[in-house]
Amino acid sequence: MSSLEHSDKNALGGLRISSNRQYEQGDSPAEQLTAIQYFAKNEKYNIVGSGEIHDSAADFKQPVLRLIQLCRQNKAQYIIFKNIQRITRSGGFDIKLLQNKFKHAGITLLDSTGEVSNKTINIMGHHKVAYDWSIRNPGETTMLIKAEAAKEDREDLLAKLIGATIHYATLGYSVHAPNYGQIHIRQQTSHGKRNFLEPHPTESKFIEKIFVLKATTDKSDDEIVKIINADGYISRPVIKHSKTDRNLVLGEKGKNKLHIKQMYKYLRSTRFCNILETTYGKGEKTTITKRVAGTPIISVELFNQANKGKKTIFEDKTSGKIYISFGVKPPWQLFKNTFNPNFPYKQVIICPECKGTMSGSSPKGKSGKHFPLYHCSRKINGKHHKQYSVKVSLLHETIENFVKNIKLSGDVIDYLRDSYLKQIENSRQQALTSNMNYEGQIRSINEQKQALIIKVKSVSLPEVIQSIESDIKKLNDDLIALKKNRAEQEEKEVKNQQKIDIFWWYLEHFDQLILGNGHTLQSAGLFGLLFDKLPTYQELSGEPGWNPKLACVFTLKKSRNLNVSLERLELSTTSLRGRCSAS
């Protein structure tokens, strides 16, 4: 081991590139290392190794921090980059943050231009004193300015690149990597050499066959996938490189057989018709739908036939504009929220694995039919537990049978009947008093009318007759109003009897109070109020944890030797989200 390796000025060369193109041109790793070695030689640093990062320096995670561990392994006290642009492109704040993080790890951050330096001066040194604020790096202002300039340089570069991409996309040239089944052919145009999207000589036949089989046959998705795979379909290979050393090949992925999910990605891609469909921007967005120069693999008509209305391309022959519409989703896909009437009990039945509430959906089987299920596969300690599911029809039937077995005890029925009859009797007494008052008032008005009729016969002056007739009209109006009020009171009496009959019926048929209201979500909310702790599906066949305080004041008696006594308490039904009429 040489004496230099024991130097206290051991340094690691920091190399960073953003793209594969930088390997051949621009700040390639080799060119960066040459500049770093020249700086190290002049400044008497011993380069003990180098670390390469292939990542963007605009990322908030700052990829150069991954080199701290490599510095420790090589016992390097310094890390040297070619310039600030190779360290970060995020501005002055991040360069200071990186300096502090490297310093905390015992490593000094430098660059070969001297803009990032560890040199300090004490502006109070002539008084032979020092403070935290008096120790200053004279090059720090320059460093921050250069870091901000590097950030602005990146933003200018992105504006040029993305702006050119949008510009040439609107002109009708292919600006993105070609899909499977397509290749780029560079051709001379009035806008320079541009990419034309052309069919791949061997891959395009598989894409075309997928669309033809889907559009012209009634074969299932599985059958189409098997046919394409039997013809020799295989996806493109992709080489995997190390993130820290792009020359290091980790392996290869891809070369997969076709599967249904990938087939539908192909079927939905308009690029096989040479139609670009892309959106740019995050805040203010622009969407470009444009026919791309080149030869399409399939026609627009074949695309529309294969997609069967789920995605349709319309082309205005007059203006040349292209419109893309998406088919109407089936009803079962439109209604998706926490309170879904198709799965009303998912918030009141819990999963036996994780004790969380259930989810509800209708997965599609191989036959093409949908099978509604309550299910759960939440994460427990970072891992999804085993999928638990139960058919909707089976769970609803179990809940219905469970509720039908719940009966009110005889004592509580008697108590509720007596209490309700007392309220009805009080109402009847009030009605009887009101009726007597109405009868007295009606009798009095009839007597006054009779007296006025007799009086009008004995007078001859027109003014007097008109005044008496006006009084009679007023009495008639009062009489009509009193009779109407009396009729309403009598109707209330009839309704009271109907209420008694309904109340009696619900006392004997408690299950209909919960399940017979015609609103599945309200039924589920009332069902959930029965329990102190929400039950699992299995617990419905045993003895779940009953709620000792119910909103409607019941003593429950379940058949099969289950008796639960309850205290009287009014309880708000918040789980019904305003759907409960009993409060």
341 has a pLDDT exceeding 60? yes
The confidence score (pLDDT) of residue 12 equals 92
Confidence of residue 549 (pLDDT cuts 50, 70, 90): low
Which two structure tokens, joined as six digits, stand for 31? 């060119």
Angstrom distance (rounded) from CA 15 to CA 85: 11
User: What pLDDT, on the 0 to 100 scale, is given for residue 340?
Assistant: 80
Residue 143 pLDDT > 50: yes
Residue 135 neighbours by CB under 8 Å, 6+ apart: 120, 121, 122
Q: For residues 472 and 448, give the distance between their C-alpha atoms in angstroms, rounded to a whole number.
A: 8
CA distance 142 to 99: 15
Using the predicted structure, report yes or no on whether residue 1 has a pLDDT greater than 50.
no
Tell how strand 10-17 and strand 388-391 pair up: unpaired
Most confident of 45-49, 487-491, 525-529: 45-49
> Within 10 Å of residue 263's Cβ, how many Cβ atoms?
18
pLDDT of 568 > 80? The answer is: no
3-class DSSP state for residue 224?
helix
* pLDDT computed for residue 507 by the predictor: 73
Least confident of 59-68, 137-146, 312-321, 407-416: 407-416
CB contact at 8 A, 94 and 102? no
**For domain 3-123+132-151, which architecture applies?**
3-Layer(aba) Sandwich (3.40)
Lowest-confidence region among 96-105, 192-201, 237-246: 237-246
Would you state the pLDDT for residue 23? 65
Greatest extent of the chain over all pairs of C-alpha atoms, in Å: 145
Within 8 A by CB and 6+ apart from 190, the residues are none
Q: How far apart are CA 359 and CA 373, in angstroms?
A: 8
- Residue range 200-222, pLDDT digits in tens: 999 999 999 999 999 999 999 99
Average pLDDT over residues 553-560: 42
- pLDDT value at residue 77: 92
- pLDDT-derived band at 493, boundaries 50, 70, 90: low
Cβ distance 7 to 53 under 8 Å?
no
Amino acid making up residue 245 = D
| pLDDT at residue number 294 | 93
Are 277 and 244 contacting, i.e. CB atoms less than 8 angstroms apart? Answer: no
By C-alpha distance, which of 553, 557, 581 is closest to 567? 553
Phi then psi for residue 397, to 5 deg, are -65, -40
Provide the 3-class DSSP secondary structure of residue 279: strand
160-164, 291-295, 330-334, 500-504: least confidently modelled range:
330-334
- Token look-up 């003895």 returns 543
User: Is pLDDT larger for residue 207 or for residue 365?
Assistant: 207
Evaluate if residue 547 carries a pLDDT over 60: no
Q: How far apart are CA 116 and CA 94, in angstroms?
A: 13
Lowest mean pLDDT among 148-162, 257-271, 300-314, 546-560: 546-560
Mean pLDDT of 92-108: 87
> What is the spatial distance between Cα 434 and Cα 296, in angstroms, rounded to a whole number?
88
Q: What is the 3-state secondary structure (H, E, C) of 425-447?
A: HHHHHHHHHHHHHHHHHHHHHHH
Q: Which two tokens stand for residue 266?
A: 């192909």
Report which residue type is found at 403: V
Q: What is the pLDDT of residue 454?
A: 72
d(CA 241, CA 573): 59
Classified as helix, coil or strand, 2 is coil
Q: Residue 60: pLDDT band by 50, 70, 90 thresholds?
A: low
Residue 157 pLDDT class (50, 70, 90 cuts):
confident
CA-to-CA dists, residue 242 to 33, 80, 248, 256, angstroms: 19, 22, 6, 22
Q: Using the 8-state DSSP alphabet, how is residue 376 labeled?
A: E
Please write down the HEC assignment for all residues of 240-303. EECCCCCCCEEEEEECCCCCHHHHHHHHHCHHHHCEEEEEECCCCCEEEEEECCECCCCCHHHH
| pLDDT higher than 90, residue 227 | yes
- Quote the pLDDT of residue 360: 87
Compute the distance between CA of residue 277 and CA of residue 269 in angstroms, rounded to an integer: 9
Average pLDDT over residues 311-335: 73
Residue 402: predicted pLDDT: 82
Q: Is the predicted pLDDT of residue 444 greater than 90, yes or no?
A: no
CATH placement of domain 182-326: 3.90.1750
Q: Quick one: average pLDDT of 339-349?
A: 85
pTM assigned to the model: 0.50
Alpha-carbon distance of 124 to 113, in angstroms, equals 28
Mean pLDDT of 501-517: 75
From the CA atom positions of the chain, what is the Rg in Å?
A: 42
Instruction: Please state the rounded mean pLDDT for residues 387-404.
Output: 87
- What average pLDDT does this structure show over 103-109? 90
Q: CB within 8 A of 534, min separation 6: which ones?
A: 348, 349, 350, 357, 528
- Binned at pLDDT 50, 70 and 90, residue 178 comes out as very high
Instruction: Report whether pLDDT(573) > 60.
Output: no
Predicted confidence band at 508 (pLDDT cuts at 50, 70, 90)? confident
CA distance 151 to 143: 12
Asked if pLDDT for residue 406 goes beyond 60, the answer is: yes
* Residues in a beta bridge with 407: 557
